[in-house]
């Protein structure tokens, strides 16, 4: 078994097989093992890493989260769900066991996320978390993602509420006519936000999922750092991290097909300049499009556009900066960029 890596595999009924094999040089990460087999593997040269006890997360999980997993006990109230329980645990005073469990968990999420991204063209959609269901900007974000996913791109967001939820919703329903997306938007508008009730907000989302099952896959990358903002239920695959810095870097790095920045404030501005920094120093082949939607917002209300132009002057990233006002323009820019990349 030299060189084998087994992660989060239940081997409790495989004792006789394990005892026949030579485990020297094998690595067991969070696998289910009978005590006698675990002792035997260690004695014969295997490296066995157990789960850190008393943590509510599986630290060596082999897959991303699903909405149903994070909201596992929603009927009894949001506070009983896995998402809420983990957030509460994460906010306890730090100790070595808790820090180790978080680090091991985020490493496993990182691994599962790269497996998900392999072979997909990811496009990021960034925007404010406070965007309310039922608003015109929320609907616009949903229709933007509906068209991007319909063009064969995999939509990736920060996985939270507001513009992020709208984008994951649009992607989820991208195989269906736009009229059905409008119907879903009308259903959600009854509960505009997650305050005062996360339960009601999430329940409305699961009602939409029940009416339109088997949607298109999209990615959400939220964090328990912002645990007061619950994850949206429309991202079919959820890479939820403890470390916010890791989460933001991974999201921007994976969106190789480009990123659309919808109107936002401090958080979105941080993401814009983090992405700009990567593009500024990137090799020409690795520069990804940056599409800012809302001319007035990005030149007057939050005037980051002039700074981006100054950074892009004379560099490869300059040709990949776009300021648009309409969904048609945003989709057209990314369609051209994707076509160009595929022919290279």
Residue 87 falls inside a structural domain: no
pLDDT at 238 over 90: yes
Average pLDDT over residues 116-139: 95
Domain end call among 14, 34, 50: 50
pLDDT grade for 184, boundaries at 50, 70 and 90: very high
Domain end call among 50, 74, 90: 50
DSSP string, 112-147: HHHHHHTT--EEEEE--TTPPTTSHHHHHHHHHHHH
Average pLDDT over residues 158-181: 97
Same domain flag for 176 and 316: yes
Q: Which residues lie closer than 8 Å to 246 by C-beta, 6 or more apart?
A: 106, 110
Residue 9's domain comprises 1-50
Whose CA is closest to 48, among 63, 60, 57? 60
Same domain flag for 291 and 186: yes
Residue 98 falls inside a structural domain: no
Residue 64 falls inside a structural domain: no
pLDDT at 341 over 80: no
User: pLDDT tens digit string along 288-309?
Assistant: 999 999 999 999 999 999 999 9
- Where residue 152 sits, what CATH number does that domain have? 3.40.50.450
Same domain flag for 125 and 220: yes
Residue 83 falls inside a structural domain: no
What integer pLDDT is reported at residue 14 of this predicted model?
A: 96
Tokens matching residue 301: 């209300």
| Structural domains counted in the chain | 2
Cα–Cα distance measured from residue 175 to residue 172, given in angstroms and rounded to the nearest whole number = 8
Residue 79 falls inside a structural domain: no
pLDDT grade for 342, boundaries at 50, 70 and 90: low
Whose CA is closest to 161, among 111, 197, 121, 186? 197
pTM over 0.85: yes
Cα–Cα distance measured from residue 108 to residue 206, given in angstroms and rounded to the nearest whole number = 27
User: pLDDT tens digit string along 247-262?
Assistant: 888 888 899 999 999 9
Cα–Cα distance measured from residue 326 to residue 148, given in angstroms and rounded to the nearest whole number = 14
User: pLDDT tens digit string along 217-236?
Assistant: 999 999 999 888 899 999 99
Residue 196 falls inside a structural domain: yes
Residue 70 falls inside a structural domain: no
pLDDT at 340 over 80: no
Same domain flag for 41 and 137: no
pLDDT at 344 over 60: no
């Amino acid at each position: 078994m030299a060189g084998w890596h087994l992660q989060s595999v239940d081997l409790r009924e495989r004792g006789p097989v394990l005892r026949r094999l030579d485990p020297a040089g094998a690595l067991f990460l969070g696998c289910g093992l009978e005590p006698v087999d675990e002792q035997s593997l260690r004695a014969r040269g295997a490296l066995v890493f157990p789960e850190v006890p008393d943590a509510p997360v599986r630290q060596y999980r082999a897959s991303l989260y699903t909405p149903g997993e994070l909201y596992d006990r929603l009927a009894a109230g949001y506070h009983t769900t896995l998402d809420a329980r983990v957030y509460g645990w994460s906010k306890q005073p730090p100790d070595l066991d808790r820090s180790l469990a978080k680090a091991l968990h985020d490493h496993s999420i990182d691994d599962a996320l790269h497996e998900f991204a392999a072979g997909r063209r990811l496009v990021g959609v960034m925007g404010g978390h406070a965007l309310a269901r039922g608003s015109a900007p929320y609907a616009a974000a949903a229709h933007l993602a509906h068209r991007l996913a319909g063009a064969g791109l995999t939509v990736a967001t920060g996985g939270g509420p507001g513009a992020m939820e709208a984008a994951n919703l649009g992607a989820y329903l991208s195989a269906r006519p736009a009229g059905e997306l409008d119907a879903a938007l009308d259903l959600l508008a009854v509960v505009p936000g997650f305050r005062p009730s996360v339960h009601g907000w999430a329940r409305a989302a699961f009602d939409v999922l029940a009416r339109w099952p088997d949607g298109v896959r999209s990615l959400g990358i939220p964090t328990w750092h912002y645990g007061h903002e619950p994850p949206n239920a429309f991202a079919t695959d959820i890479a939820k991290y403890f470390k916010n810095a890791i989460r933001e870097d991974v999201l921007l790095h994976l969106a190789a097909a480009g990123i659309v920045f919808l109107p936002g404030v401090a958080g979105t501005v941080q993401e814009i300049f983090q992405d700009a920094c990567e593009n500024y120093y990137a090799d020409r082949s690795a520069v990804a499009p940056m599409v800012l939607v809302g001319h007035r917002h990005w030149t007057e209300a939050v005037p980051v556009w002039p700074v981006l132009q100054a950074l892009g002057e004379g560099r490869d990233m300059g040709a990949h900066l776009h300021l648009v006002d309409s969904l048609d323009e945003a989709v057209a820019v990314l369609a051209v960029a994707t076509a160009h990349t595929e022919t290279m």
